[in-house]
Chains A and B, each alone.
Chain A
Amino acid sequence: MTTSLSTESPATSDLALGVAGLTVTFPGAGRRDVPGVVALQDVGLQVRVGEFVAVVGPSGCGKSTLLRVLAGLTPTGATVTGGAVTRLVNPAGGPATAWMPQRDGLLPWRRALPNALVGARIAGMDRAVADERARALFDEFGLAGFERSWPHELSGGMRQRLALLRTCLPGRPVLLLDEPFGALDAITRRRMNAWLAGLDLAGHGRAVVLVTHDVDEALLLADRVVVLSDRPGRVVLDLPVPRDGTQDARRTLLDALDPHGGS
């Protein structure tokens, strides 16, 4: 009984998941002589247990593609090379990751609450427990009262929050979130940011990879910010976020994002 407790809190230097030398190529529009699109080139990314990593980069640089590979999905029709994904966290059985797509992926034939329970059902969670947790999160995410709405009756921002809820509910150790707050107003976004920041990642042996366009959001939430270059996506900066005073870090990030910019 007591021996199992000793493994409860893993050291924060443990690798949660990572890729090395990842190159993803999409074929050109159906013809052999048309060169394909290289979405990612030789990308390496290591995420340790307890770490919150934000990925930023210009639109179309391969952020979503990177997140798919981390989630163990092969982007449709793509050639993936060197993407050795290592996942060390695997407690309750089943895969360690839960992935939230950039488009919410809500099932149109399920009402909001059953949609929120999809992840829990896949994870084989107890129905009553999942239901109770879902209702509590509906409250916290500002979705209370919409449990019986169809997805098409929800606003874009509400759909995103519902998709996030579905992803978090099963309690998988690694959350892979693709622009979860893109459609939210500033106030709701701050509330959701506060919720994410409140997850005790280190204490529970978990990790988050967050794709975002918002540098300030990245600095606020993440322990590390990874900047990808314009297509083909390469890692141009891997910046630990200082605990105090992010002004310098902010400038460094913006410079990395826009190398040819003014100033």
Chain B
Amino acid sequence: MLLVGWEVGVRLSGLPAFVLPPPSQVARTAVEVAPLLGPDVVTTLTEAGLGLLVGAVVGLLLAVLIAAFPLVADTVYPLVTLTQTVPTVVLAPLLILWAGFGLLPKVVLVALTAFFPVLVAAVTAMSAVDAEHAEMVAGLGGTRRHQFWLVQLPASVPGALGGLRVAATYAIGAAVVAEYLAGQSGLGVFVQRSRKGYEVDQILVAVALVAVLTGLLFLLVDGLARLATPWQRPSLPSRPGRTPL
């Protein structure tokens, strides 16, 4: 419906193709450039995947530190929040200055966006540990160390994975922005090149591709999260059924 409206709208209004091409032309362009996009897609996916991984590990480690040493929380939390207030556009050139034009600054940038939701979700889950479980461990003579390994850490896993799902939706976008600002390969570079040539149809192809890749990455992370938490019931609650008369 949307696509048909767009097609008809563009044709009737007579907008030039360098402002807004009709979807039929975008589709044609997509087929044309598809074989050339392979390396760019690989670059972007590598950056997003590695960044997500690094971000998840760093986020979980920081969450563990914060849970284990409440004093750390007071110093680390403001710092962490600060990293989230600096816009990517400012951060990217700095990272490139320090880490060069290669893969590293992009991975760092994705990790910087990805670790925050993981951290917040894991810390929340750890502080909301079921008193029932903590008491059980204490009643069997468990120390704080036992509490941490037996209860706090495993209890934080579903929360952290929830944060990772959120992070997965940002990862591709963050990688593309980083490439756009300074890169040699990747979807962001492709967009940059297309913009210089006023090839709006190519930009739209890239936009659609980012959406599709983000969706796929989300599904992948979601699937892995399910595998990692086999004890969680399927979220469908049993409903009071209506018995036929």
Q: Enumerate chain A interface residues (CB-CB to B < 8 A).
A: 68, 71-73, 76, 94-95, 97-101, 103, 105, 107-110, 118-119, 121-123, 150-152, 166-167, 170, 172, 176
- Contact assessment for A109 and B135 in the assembled complex, using a CB-CB cutoff below 8 Å: no
Q: Sort A-B residue pairs by CB-CB distance and give the 7 closest, nearest first.
A: A105-B136, A99-B139, A95-B141, A119-B140, A122-B142, A109-B154, A109-B231
**0 or 1 for each of B227-245: is its CB under 8 Å from A? (1 = yes):** 0011101000000000000
**0 or 1 for each of B24-64: is its CB under 8 Å from A? (1 = yes):** 00000000000000000000000000000000000000000
Residues of A near B231 (CB, < 8 A) are 108-110, 150-152
Shortest beta-carbon distance from B207 to chain A in Å: 40
Within 8 A of A (CB), among B132-153: 132-133, 135-142, 146, 150-151
Residues of A near B133 (CB, < 8 A) are 105, 107
- Contact assessment for A71 and B131 in the assembled complex, using a CB-CB cutoff below 8 Å: no
Contact of B140 among A150, A151, A167 (CB under 8 A): A167
Residues of A near B146 (CB, < 8 A) are 121-122
Shortest beta-carbon distance from A16 to chain B in Å: 16
Residues of A near B141 (CB, < 8 A) are 94-95, 97-98, 122-123, 170, 172
Pick 15 A–B contacts, CB within 8 A, sort by A.
A94-B141, A98-B141, A99-B136, A101-B136, A105-B132, A105-B136, A105-B139, A109-B154, A109-B155, A110-B154, A118-B140, A122-B140, A122-B142, A172-B141, A176-B139
Q: Cα distance A97–B139 when bound, in Å?
A: 8
- Contact assessment for B136 and A98 in the assembled complex, using a CB-CB cutoff below 8 Å: no
Q: Is the interface of A mostly helix, strand, loop or mixed?
A: loop
Closest to A172 in B: B141
Q: Cα distance A103–B131 when bound, in Å?
A: 11
User: Is B157 at the interface (CB under 8 A from chain A)?
Assistant: yes
**Do A107 and B150 form a contact, CB below 8 Å, given A94-B141, A98-B139, A98-B140?**
yes
Shortest beta-carbon distance from A116 to chain B in Å: 12
- Contact assessment for B132 and A152 in the assembled complex, using a CB-CB cutoff below 8 Å: no
Q: Enumerate chain B interface residues (CB-CB to A < 8 A).
A: 131-133, 135-142, 146, 150-151, 154-155, 157, 229-231, 233
- Contact assessment for B142 and A107 in the assembled complex, using a CB-CB cutoff below 8 Å: no
Residues of B near A95 (CB, < 8 A) are 141
Contact of A101 among B132, B151, B155, B157 (CB under 8 A): B132
Having A97-B141, A101-B139, A152-B231, one finds 7 other A-B pairs with CB under 8 Å, namely A73-B135, A99-B140, A105-B132, A109-B231, A119-B140, A150-B230, A172-B141
Contact of A71 among B139, B151, B229, B230 (CB under 8 A): B139
Q: Cα distance A19–B165 when bound, in Å?
A: 51
Q: Cα distance A176–B154 when bound, in Å?
A: 27
Residues of A near B138 (CB, < 8 A) are 72-73
Residues of A near B139 (CB, < 8 A) are 68, 71, 73, 97-101, 105, 176
**Do A103 and B142 form a contact, CB below 8 Å, given A118-B137, A118-B150?**
no
Shortest beta-carbon distance from A20 to chain B in Å: 22
Closest to A76 in B: B131
Shortest beta-carbon distance from A177 to chain B in Å: 11
Shortest beta-carbon distance from B130 to chain A in Å: 9
**Do A105 and B135 form a contact, CB below 8 Å, given A118-B140, A152-B231?**
yes
Of the listed residues A71, A103, A107, A110, the one surrounded by the most CB atoms of chain B closer than 10 A to its CB is A107
Shortest beta-carbon distance from B136 to chain A in Å: 3
Shortest beta-carbon distance from A94 to chain B in Å: 5
Q: Cα distance A56–B107 when bound, in Å?
A: 63
